[in-house]
Amino acid sequence: MVHICANTQHGGYMDKWTEFKTAYRLAKFGTLSATAEDLGIHRSTVMRQIDVLEESLGVKLFQRNDKGYIPTEAGLEVMRLGEITDVQLTQFANKAKSKEDVLEGTLKVTCINELAQLIFPAITKYQALYPQVKFEIIGDIRKYDLEYGEADLAIRTGEKPNTLDNIVIPFMKIELVLCAHQKYIDMHGLPTPENFNKHKFVANSERLAHIPWNEWIHNHALAENISVSSTSQQILNYALQTGAGIGVTTKEAVQNNNQLQVLETDQHWEVNTWILVHRDIINIPKVRKFIDLLKLEEPSYMDFN
């Protein structure tokens, strides 16, 4: 018996995987035409791949005659190895699919901290349905690479992301309003468009074009009247809630807090949010079902000063 083994000097024969598969099919079918049709390639490609593999192995795998390609002893071993590999790959595929069907493991979601509360209603429903799935929430501002498996899906804000390998799904549209806490109104009176320049504001200290409501504050408030500035949205929300100044939050936040009062402006601010998922994993059942639950969610309370 001829034994075909891996060449350990140059990383084995894994770079000849395609050629091995072609040889296995040719040993099984016996003709170039049948093999080419099965693999969806041209007859000449089959011949070339067999020549390359025989040269690499240093053995003849087939005898050519008018009846087709007859496997030699080495060719029969290739066929045996191919059959074993086929069975093992089928078993692996069935096992992997079975594991996905029971919905277990971990789902990694990346989003900025302020968006995390948007996804927890869906997470709660999901885990009630599929308790064996755990969630890992990556809550910092770095944009994790979905194509490298750093996260299964991402929640992003702003303009629609433009990435070739990711599927972008509209999530929520969040309306923002200018408002003041009742504590502030009790101390300083009700702010109106006519007297905004006499009132205190809280604002993000970074002036970024993609945060138009923050630019509006910087453009309409005197510099000395911005009483609190920070790059932390959470800190700005604390400032708004304690009456340190006028600020921007979501319409839902105001509806959920009767101490907050919307102030009239000529502006309409919205934040678009998006679900990003890599095209290779969107149809994995545990990912697909979570996306379906996310899409059913209505906009909820979110602090987004």
- Specify burial of residue 13 (Cβ count, 10 A radius: 0-12, 13-18, 19+): middle
Residue-wise pLDDT tens digits, 157-181: 878 888 778 889 998 888 999 999 9
**Is residue 154 a contact partner of residue 282, using CB atoms and an 8 Å limit?**
no
HEC-encoded secondary structure of 123-188: HHHHHHHCCCEEEEEECCCCCCCHHHCCCCEEEEECCCCCCCCEEEEEEEEEEEEEEEEHHHHHHH
CA distances (Å), origin 283, targets 23, 27, 146: 33, 35, 14
Residue 146 is predicted with a pLDDT of: 63
Sign (positive or negative) of CA dihedral 46, 27, 78, 83: positive
Domain 105-172+271-296 has CATH 3.40.50.1000: no
- Specify burial of residue 209 (Cβ count, 10 A radius: 0-12, 13-18, 19+): exposed
**Is residue 258 a contact partner of residue 233, using CB atoms and an 8 Å limit?**
no
**Is residue 50 a contact partner of residue 39, using CB atoms and an 8 Å limit?**
no
pLDDT higher than 80, residue 273: yes
- Specify burial of residue 300 (Cβ count, 10 A radius: 0-12, 13-18, 19+): middle
Residue-wise pLDDT tens digits, 17-37: 889 999 999 998 999 999 999
Residue from 6, 15, 25, 8 nearest 78 by CA:
25
Residue-wise pLDDT tens digits, 197-237: 999 999 999 887 778 899 999 998 989 999 999 988 889 99
CATH of the domain spanning 175-268, picked from 3.40.190.10, 2.40.40.20, 3.30.1240.10, 3.30.70.520: 3.40.190.10
pLDDT higher than 80, residue 55: yes
pLDDT higher than 60, residue 13: no
Residue-wise pLDDT tens digits, 290-301: 999 998 865 444
Residue-wise pLDDT tens digits, 110-154: 887 767 778 889 999 999 999 999 999 887 655 556 655 678 888
**Is residue 152 a contact partner of residue 107, using CB atoms and an 8 Å limit?**
yes
Residue 196 is predicted with a pLDDT of: 92
* pLDDT, mean of residues 186-191: 95
Cα–Cα distance, 282 to 269 (Å, whole number): 31
Same fold, 14-100 and 175-268: no
DSSP 223: G
Q: What angle do CA 153, 132, 298 make, to 5 degrees?
A: 50
pLDDT higher than 70, residue 304: no
Domain ranges across the chain: 14-100, 105-172+271-296, 175-268
At residue 11 the predicted structure's pLDDT band, cuts being 50, 70 and 90, is very low
Give Cβ neighbours of residue 257 (< 8 Å, ≥ 6 apart). Answer: none
DSSP 195: T
pLDDT higher than 50, residue 56: yes
Round the average pLDDT of the chain to a whole number and report it: 84
CATH of the domain spanning 14-100, picked from 3.40.50.12780, 1.10.10.10, 1.10.287.980, 3.40.50.300: 1.10.10.10
Give Cβ neighbours of residue 145 (< 8 Å, ≥ 6 apart). Answer: none
